[in-house]
Amino acid sequence: METLLKTTLYASLLLAASHNIARAEQIDAGAIEIQTTSLSQAVSKISPRHSQIALLAMDMSSNQVIFSQQAETLFIPASTQKLLTAVSAMAQLGPDFRYITELWTDAPIRKGHIAGSAYLRFSGDPTLTQPDLKAIFASLVKQGINRIDGHLYLLGDKQEQMQAPGWVWDDLGICFAAPVSSYIINQNCVYGQFNPSTANKPSQVSLRTGSYGVKVSSDAVFDPKASREFCQLDLVRLAQNNYHLRGCYPGGEAIGLAIAVSDPFKFAQDNLTSLLKGEMSLAGKVKLGTSLPKKAKLIASHSSAPLPELLDAMLLKSDNLIADSLFKQLGKSYFNAQGSFTNGAAAMQRILTELGVDLSNANIVDGSGLSRYNLLNAQQLAAVLALIHKDSRFSPLMTSLPQAGISGTLRYRMGYNKPPLKQQIFAKTGSMQGVSNLAGFIRLPEHSDTLFVVLENGMSPELKHQHKPSFNAEFLKQLISVLQVPSPTTAALSTAAHSVQD
């Protein structure tokens, strides 16, 4: 009897709860309107006066738009473009994809000698380092091979497209815009230091070990008292990985330099020439190869980390070289042709369209977001984020997004390293001069995920000197405050569950 009474009571409470929930869902439609109104009022107060913004926020459990402003207007996406690269790469290349660097020979091996030439085929691996190459030749030594009687030919793509259209010219000598080549060693980047003058020496540049073949001359000076009205450094790129530093630096302390090589093949040639001196004997020279002989056989290789690990580094660190190397791989895989920015763009457009992302009027130029010619709107970025959230093929990418105050490019960002944003925001940043974007998710305890896109273009460079939280941080604070107000449906469910337990 007691069990029957409990069952009847439970059914009655559930029936009452269902009526309450139905009523609450009707109220929720009004609640969304209230949230939208509240956000509209907040946005009108905090919106920047001199730049353009686009906003979109969506509840992922109901797919209801909470807020939208200029969501169809095209903006420069900067590094939020990498979200498109990540999804496209997972769809086209698959999680098992790796870059493979291979050593081949068509010559017989006699008494520890390769009786002829060897061929080192590069694959555009953006993570390949000189120690990785050293390990390839060390594996030959373990096999008892210690001499190449001919030449070592380096094989890569011919007449490569190493920069995308729309890359800023004065970025090209800096490591974050290193050339995207099939020949990549140490991210095609060298590091050094510009040192102030002393009693015995003028100001000069010193390069770290590993800067093979790279030379930097300088007639630049330091201005310790910042007395010059116009004072800035200028790095001039010359042929054969030569550079000249000119101008002045307002200060008296040494500063670090991160210089992108301009000739990736020569950098690889100089690296291998130096490396082989310590690993094995080479009778000939390190030279440019044209093709792999038909009868060649594989004798050693190096594999990169699998694609998920590459994407993890790309998204967390906003690594441009990984992004654009994968972008060219998309073109290579999709069209079965040498990869380029041109066919990479076409491949990405088709892959994402096939996945249901409407890229009408968008302009895709590269995979990193470095190009000023890229154009996306908030709805298109939101569609890509929705794939990450709901499609099991892409959901692992969620853990690769920087987490506010915890990881990646959001670890130390102002406004994100303390409550209410700390730990609650998982998003891809997108910043360059005049651009500050953010696209990702708010993940609150006991609340469904909220997708958001905040795009801001046309920012004044003067804002950098004000040391204030960005507009996107202020908007997300307002959004979280609205989301934390309990909805009628949640309250009805909680009341029903509590009544049944009682």
Active site residues: 79, 82, 318
What is the C-alpha separation between 7 and 1, in angstroms, rounded?
10
* Gyration radius of the chain over CA positions: 28
* Sign, CA torsion 112/113/114/118: positive
* CA–centroid distance for 13 within its chain: 51
| Nearby residues of 120 by Cβ (< 8 Å), 6 or more positions away | 101, 102, 103, 104, 133, 136, 152, 153, 154, 155, 272
Q: Identify whether the C-beta of residue 93 lies closer than 8 Å to the C-beta of residue 322.
A: no
Calpha distance 429→411 (Å, rounded):
11
Contact 334, 327 (CB under 8 A): no
Closest CA to 366 of 189, 164, 66: 164
CA distance 338 to 119: 19
| Cis check: omega of the bond before 108, within 30 degrees of 0 | no
Q: Which residue has the tokens 């949640």?
A: 490
Phi first, then psi: give them for residue 344, nearest 5 degrees.
Answer: -65, -40
Cα–Cα distance for residue pair 177/194, rounded to 1 Å: 20
154 strand-pairing partners: 120, 288
**Taking a C-beta distance cutoff of 8 angstroms, is the pair 366, 347 a contact?**
no
- Asked if residue 325 lies in contact with residue 82, where contact means CB atoms within 8 angstroms, the answer is no
Which residues make Cβ contacts (< 8 Å) with residue 5, sequence separation at least 6? Answer: none
* Cα–Cα dist 403/316, whole Å: 9
187: burial class by Cβ within 10 Å (0-12, 13-18, 19+)? Answer: buried
Q: If 0-12 CB within 10 Å is exposed, 13-18 middle and 19+ buried, where does residue 294 land?
A: exposed
C-alpha 478/C-alpha 408 separation (Å) is: 23
Instruction: Please say whether the dihedral angle defined by the alpha carbons of residues 159, 164, 170 and 171, taken in this order, is positive or negative.
Output: negative
Closest CA to 87 of 76, 95, 79: 95
